[in-house]
Amino acid sequence: MSDPVVARLHEWLKAHEQELLDDTRRMLRIASIEGDAAPNAPFGAANREALDLALALSRNAGMETKDLEGYIGYAEFGQGERLVLSLGHLDVVPVGPGWKHEPFGAEIDEGYIYARGSTDDKGPTMASFYAMRAIKECFPQVPARMRQAFGCNEESGFRCVERYAETEEAPTFGVAPDSGWPLYNGEKGIANLNIELKLNKGAEMELLEVCGGQRPNIVIDQAEAAVRVKPEARKVVEGKLESAWDRNVTCTWESDVLRLKAVGKAAHGARPFLGDSAATRIFRQLFEIAPVADENYYQELLESAITSGAGIGINGEDEISKDLTCNLGIVSTEDGVVKLLFNIRYPVTWKGVQVKDKCEAHLKTLKGGWTLANVGRDSPSLYFPLDNPLVKTIMSVYEEETGEKKKPGVMGGGTYARALPNTVSIGTGWDGDGKAHENDERLKVEHLFKMSRIYAHLYYKLATLSV
């Protein structure tokens, strides 16, 4: 390494690899899924515990800390007008069935740490924190204020970073270590659409209930439904059930009620095509066994789950970020209405109101009694051009560290970068690491160390960058 400061940073991190691994595993053992609010713990006791650990480690490292009422906290050192900020998060999505390793055991198996949050985002956050520690120890005269933030509500609302923005200054250069390498200079807009469908009362195959899903941004991996079949339609439905092909759907009769259960595969809602929606399997089965008089109702229900959004009229693309994606994250039944919560990732050149207007116009053409109840969330898109100094620096450091010249990407996922000015998301792992939000999430131990070295190099460059 030609720069002696970067060489010292790498040496320090090499010498502290075991400490980084131990602290990361301590953090991963905390089941920091959002829970009931409590004093100074707006996202539950487990998230509070994770934040307390992060701030304690920061104080032990000689950094100043600030706790914003349990929403988010940060550690800081250095001096000067420039602020270099890294925004990591400690909260994680819920854990579904099917894990082969204990989700919060932080077990190491064949060189990988298995735990919810290992890749999203506790592992990268701890690597970033240690990168900051390295700069503090090896470059005490750093001409910038260096700040590591620890958010507690990234996965279910961004209220943590919204609280941060209320009182804290915007960074000169900010990064969110929560995406792909070298960075994602664009993030699609994110909107949650709450759509309602009337139950088909009086039909030959009457839908009584359907339910499934944990969060809007997770592909549904388990779903159930129940339909009441009229006597005159029973023979038709039974005949169609005999040729049913989907082994992931089980059907049982209880008098005149047919109950269906389906299993699928969870995945991040930004990439629903990587999962297998149990709700889609239920809807398909219902459509395939429906009497002719009810086919249209169940066809519309099935098409609503198309991941391009075509079934609710919002499909489309742009040149920068390509196609819109649509994930049916939660479905439930209440007061004679099927409630469907869709998590939408729309192109960076679109506005959320376009999605809303397209959806409303399409729903009016459907026959089943569809309405857009509300837009639950609309987070505008983010885009930085390639000549932006922050983008250019990240790309340069990544190439120097890895020897790989790689273009930035555009993502469907949403990171803290969209919540603060002058901030982009940067990479977190490599091939072999587990996917965010999926079972047996994992991070290669060597990748944890490699991230810390790249982050340290990057933060040092941003602290000293001439602009």
Q: What is the CATH number of the domain that holds 8?
A: 3.40.630.10
Q: In this predicted structure, what is the pLDDT of residue 232?
A: 96
Q: Could you give the maximum distance between any two Cα atoms of the chain, in Å?
A: 83
- Residues composing the chain: 467
Residues 354 and 206 in one domain: yes
Domain containing residue 22: 4-188+382-464
430 CB-contact burial (10 Å; exposed 0-12 / middle 13-18 / buried 19+): middle
State the total domains in the chain. Answer: 2
pLDDT tens string, the chain, 467 residues long: the values are 579 999 999 999 999 999 999 999 999 999 999 999 999 999 999 999 999 999 999 999 999 999 999 999 999 999 999 999 999 999 999 998 899 999 999 999 999 999 999 999 999 999 999 999 999 999 999 999 999 999 999 998 899 999 999 999 999 999 999 999 999 999 999 999 999 999 998 899 999 999 999 899 999 999 999 999 999 999 999 999 999 999 999 999 999 999 999 999 999 899 999 999 999 999 999 999 999 999 999 999 999 999 999 999 999 999 999 999 999 999 999 999 999 999 999 999 999 999 999 999 999 999 999 999 999 889 899 999 999 999 999 999 999 999 999 999 998 877 899 999 999 999 999 999 998 888 999 999 999 999 999 999 999 999 999 97
Looking at 352, 378, 404, the residue that finishes a domain is 378
DSSP-based helix, strand, coil % in the chain, nearest 5? 35, 30, 35
In whole angstroms, what separates CA 286 from the centre of its chain?
30
160 near 50, Cβ under 8 Å? no
Residues 292 and 151 in one domain: no
Residues 269 and 401 in one domain: no
The CATH code of the domain that includes 297 is 3.30.70.360
Q: How far apart are CA 362 and CA 339, in angstroms?
A: 17
Q: Which of 48, 19, 14 is nearest to 31 (CA)?
A: 48
Residues 13 and 29 in one domain: yes
Q: How far apart are CA 385 and CA 327, in angstroms?
A: 28
Residues 76 and 212 in one domain: no
Residues 68 and 156 in one domain: yes
Q: In this predicted structure, what is the pLDDT of residue 83?
A: 98
Residues 206 and 184 in one domain: no
Residues with catalytic function: 91, 154
Looking at 326, 354, 378, the residue that finishes a domain is 378
Q: In this predicted structure, what is the pLDDT of residue 61?
A: 98
Q: In this predicted structure, what is the pLDDT of residue 467?
A: 75
Q: In this predicted structure, what is the pLDDT of residue 1?
A: 54
Residues 171 and 273 in one domain: no
Q: In this predicted structure, what is the pLDDT of residue 282?
A: 98
Residues 38 and 65 in one domain: yes
Residues 400 and 368 in one domain: no
Q: In this predicted structure, what is the pLDDT of residue 202?
A: 85
Q: In this predicted structure, what is the pLDDT of residue 412?
A: 86
Helix H segments across 290-417?
295-303, 352-363, 389-402
Residues 184 and 286 in one domain: no
State both tokens at 163.
């609280």
Looking at 332, 350, 378, the residue that finishes a domain is 378
Residues 230 and 247 in one domain: yes
